Amino acid sequence: MDFEKYLRPTAFIDSEHPAIAALAKEADASTEKERAIKLFLKVRDDVRYDPYSISLDPGAFAASTTLQNKRGFCVTKAILLTAGLRALHIPARLGFVDVINHLATERLRTLMRTDVFAFHGFAEAWLDGKWVKATPAFNASLCEKFGTEPLDFDGVHDAVLQPLNRSGARFMEYVRDRGTFDDFPQAAMLDAWKELYPHFFGAVPSSPEGDFEAEAARDAGSSPRTR
């Protein structure tokens, strides 16, 4: 397998950016697997999950931009993790799926007009001779609000979002595999978004504002959906 394309920087996966290099240095450990785990935890918890941070500006998807902002959504956090892994000289690529998020906040579902999230992003790292999935989307404090365990990554098993939360309510359902990519397929993602969320592509598109974690805390007292 040609791993060069999974190690080189791109405009989105800007692994040679000084800030990404500094992030990778913070994940120093004695083994490659331990470095990957430390990096995963930093991206998961130091960068807050914020679905209201979405921008269609191509520069907003660069890993260094997400790191600077300290917030992002599943796609930008996956790009950041992929960049950090490449900065650690670990081959990495992006994977995308469509999911149904059964525990999204009421406001987010109202804005999206669906609970299908197209092009949910994750990273894959080449460790010990195989690709391993790593999903850094939801920070630990947000998971606590939703009543689900933070997703851990051990470098051996795929870290994919759980189907159920702590109470047994449905949490995340994977419904379509979009494939893996050595770079961020922005055009393909936008095509899918235009099909599912045409109301977000008006004459003057704008990103809604809000505190998603606070919304999750407010919604915590309501009954979980169980369909």
pLDDT of residue 220: 57
Q: How confident is the model at residue 68 (pLDDT cuts 50, 70, 90)?
A: very high
H-assigned helices in 47-196? 63-69, 74-87, 106-112, 140-146, 186-196
> Could you state, in order of their start, the residue ranges of all structural domains in the chain?
4-217
pLDDT beyond 60 at 169: yes
> How far apart are alpha carbons 134 and 124 in whole angstroms?
6
Q: Give the range with max mean pLDDT: 21-35, 42-56, 103-117, 197-211.
A: 21-35
Residue 208's pLDDT is 55
Q: Smallest Cα–Cα separation from 100: which of 52, 163, 159?
A: 163
- Taking only the tens place, the pLDDT of each residue in 175-184 is 999 999 999 9
| Class of the domain covering 4-217 | alpha beta
Share of the chain above pLDDT 70, in %: 89
Please state, rounded to an integer, the average pLDDT across all residues of the chain: 90
**Segments in the chain forming alpha helices (H):** 18-26, 32-46, 63-69, 74-87, 106-112, 140-146, 186-196, 212-219
- Average pLDDT estimate for 68-78: 97
What tens digit of pLDDT does each residue of 9-26 get? 999 999 999 999 999 999
Split at pLDDT 50, 70, 90, the class of 70 is very high
Q: What's the residue count for the chain?
A: 227
Residue 176 three-state SS: strand
- What digits encode the pLDDT tens for the residues 178-222? 999 999 999 999 999 999 999 888 744 445 566 667 766 666 554
57-71, 84-98, 202-216, range with the lowest pLDDT: 202-216
Q: What is the pLDDT of residue 127?
A: 98
The per-residue pLDDT for 133 is: 98
**Reduced to 3 states, what is the DSSP secondary structure of residue 178?**
strand
What residue has token string 């851990």? 152
> Would you give the DSSP letter of residue 2?
-
Give the pLDDT band of residue 150 (cuts 50, 70, 90).
very high
Q: Is 219 exposed, middle or buried (0-12, 13-18, 19+ CB in 10 A)?
A: middle
Query: Distance between alpha carbon 11 and the CA centroid of its chain, in Å?
Result: 18
Residue 5: pLDDT over 60: yes
- The β-bridge relationship of strands 71-72 and 48-49 is parallel
d(C-alpha 222, C-alpha 156), whole Å: 36
| Weakest-pLDDT range from 40-44, 167-171, 173-177 | 167-171
